[in-house]
Amino acid sequence: MPSFFKTGTKKIQSKKESSPSQPSTIKPNITNLTYNIDDNIDLIKDCLGSPPDLNVRKIIIDAATDFSVAMIRMDGMSDKKEVDFSVIEPLSKMNFEQLREQLESPNSAEVLGRLIAVNKLEKMNDVDKVVNSILQGNTGILFNHTSQVFIASTRLIDKRGLSEPSSQTVIRGPKDSFTEDLRTNTSLVRARITNPKLRIETLNVGEITHTNVELMYLNGIADDSILQELRNRIKKIKIDAILESSYIEEFIQDSKNSIFPTLISTERPDVVVANLLEGRFAIFVYGTPYVLIGPATFIQFFQSPEDYYQNYYMGSFIRILRFVSFFIALYIPGLYVAIMTHHHALIPTTLLITLAGQREGVPFPIVVEALIMELVFEVLREAGVRMPRAVGQTVSIVGALILGQAAVQAGFVSASTVIVVSLTAIANFTMPFFNVAIAARILRFLLLLLGSYIGMYGIMLGTFVILAHLCSLRSFGLPYFDPITPFKLLAQKDVFIRLPLPKQMTRPEPASPEEKNRVQGGGRNET
């Protein structure tokens, strides 16, 4: 299986080289760098298919000896100014005699490095590597009479500036969020942890895209076995392209068929920092502001960073509220239908009369009604996300006011169903991480059907199934329900309630056992 991809890429290359349509003077089967600069330029051009954004600048330094230099770079990916000032200018002024002598010596890169003022200069003579480097925005420097290519790092890609997080907002707390640029993202974390223990490892994933994936952790605090497992899993990924961190997530999560997320994805640097400090790892992927964090437990999806920024009474209250709203989002439609169709006795008499009054003349059975309303709501929500910002407001007004109000007034649906559905919808939005809310959104339908079919009994049995599924999940070996079951009394400090920070001086489960205490020796000596 793996070899298939490798041979595939090579085939493409050789095909291009052998294509007769290329107006080239060199023999088409040359695949290695030669001592002729023009051949080399053509070879690189061929490899890339002479795209319009490929910039080749050739300078003849000494016509007598046919000594020339060429700079090859991709427009838009590299820093033009830097190439002009740091590469072209010193090269055109240099003493070429001396340079020519030393070009073939093993330390030619160092000699050249004294002239060219870029922060990294490498020497290579493999055409694949050279092409890859150029594609990443570096500048390839070619000389005549040598097969060595010098790569100056001049990568510069336009990127957007930092903006406020769009999906995970807080009232009090940092307002910056990750961007699409990987280096910016890692710098946001580095700026917050100025400690040599912070380690970053680079991995390359994607047979075609060669996307940079970086793994970040705190050395010593993160458990080595988990990290090793993570590296193995990332290395095993076989995919052509990585466009978003979710691609990685789907490959490395423990249970591929689960509806519940087993890795956190966040766009907030403070969340990443907090999790790194708890011994978790973070995976940065080029091109997406969402960073993966693992191993994650179920409880973590209910922890908003703001819980820790607000007073801890408030933090605890809000957290309990969030659990309640998760329960509401998951169960209320099912319970509503179950009670309205199977357990009339449970409804207080006065409420029952009101409800019965509302149900008079409504054409649909209550299950159908609830299902329709849930689906309509999902449609509205999807429309709200996809709509251009400007008309988003209109959709919500049309959806909420006109549809809801009119449907009730026209007697299509009963008011109580509208209340239940909107309550569910609102409760769903309290989740700090929307991917756990997705689970609730889908499982809700299952419970609704069970409830309509066989009442509370069905809902209860559905709960067993969901619970068993949750209990069987693991995230990198860590049980998903970690501090609840298996139960750990000390870890309860940050589950349903948040104790004040001075009382939270131990790290939770995934941290390596030697580093259980957040601060050593009472918080004085740092090593």
Q: Which is nearer to other proteins, 184 or 341 (by Cβ)? A: 341
| Min dist. Cβ of residue 430 to other proteins (A) | 20
| Min dist. Cβ of residue 420 to other proteins (A) | 14
The C-alpha atoms of residue 384 and residue 505 are separated, in whole angstroms, by 43
The C-alpha atoms of residue 40 and residue 142 are separated, in whole angstroms, by 8
Q: Which is nearer to other proteins, 289 or 458 (by Cβ)? A: 458
Give the residue from 194, 205, 323, 282 showing the smallest Cα distance to 510.
282
> In sequence order, what DSSP letters do the residues of 27-84 get, joined into one string?
-TT--S--S-HHHHHHHHHHHHT--TTEEEEEEEEETTTTEEEEEEEETTTB-HHHII
Q: Which is nearer to other proteins, 7 or 349 (by Cβ)? A: 349
| Min dist. Cβ of residue 479 to other proteins (A) | 8
Q: Which is nearer to other proteins, 31 or 341 (by Cβ)? A: 341
| Min dist. Cβ of residue 483 to other proteins (A) | 12
Q: Measured in whole angstroms, how far is the alpha carbon of residue 393 from the centre of its chain?
A: 29
Q: Which is nearer to other proteins, 80 or 474 (by Cβ)? A: 474
| Min dist. Cβ of residue 497 to other proteins (A) | 15
The HSE-up count of residue 148 (CA atoms within 13 Å, CB side) is 16
Check residue 200 and report its DSSP letter: E
- The counts of H helices and E strands in the chain are 19, 12
Q: Which is nearer to other proteins, 40 or 417 (by Cβ)? A: 417
| Min dist. Cβ of residue 472 to other proteins (A) | 4
Give the residue from 309, 279, 318, 312 showing the smallest Cα distance to 297.
279
Residues 6+ apart with CB under 8 A from 64: none
| Min dist. Cβ of residue 254 to other proteins (A) | 14
Q: Which is nearer to other proteins, 271 or 340 (by Cβ)? A: 340
The C-alpha atoms of residue 396 and residue 391 are separated, in whole angstroms, by 9
Q: Which is nearer to other proteins, 208 or 401 (by Cβ)? A: 401
Give the residue from 138, 164, 162, 136 showing the smallest Cα distance to 150.
138
Q: Which is nearer to other proteins, 51 or 361 (by Cβ)? A: 361
| Min dist. Cβ of residue 464 to other proteins (A) | 5
Residue with tokens 């000594």: 67
Q: Which is nearer to other proteins, 215 or 339 (by Cβ)? A: 339
| Min dist. Cβ of residue 336 to other proteins (A) | 12
Strand order in the sheet with 121-124: 54-62, 67-74, 139-143, 149-152, 121-124
Cβ proximity of 293 and 281 under 8 Å:
yes
Give the residue from 112, 106, 182 showing the smallest Cα distance to 151.
112
| Min dist. Cβ of residue 367 to other proteins (A) | 8
| Min dist. Cβ of residue 343 to other proteins (A) | 5
Helix (H) or strand (E) holding 474: strand 474-475
In the complex, which residues of this chain contact other proteins (CB under 8 A)?
339-346, 348-350, 352-362, 365-366, 408-409, 411, 414-415, 452-458, 460-462, 464-465, 467-469, 471-472, 479, 481, 484-487
Q: Which is nearer to other proteins, 432 or 455 (by Cβ)? A: 455
3-state secondary structure of 143: strand
Strand ranges inside 290-446, DSSP E: 291-294
3-state secondary structure of 150: strand
In sequence order, the β-bridge partners of residue 60 are 68
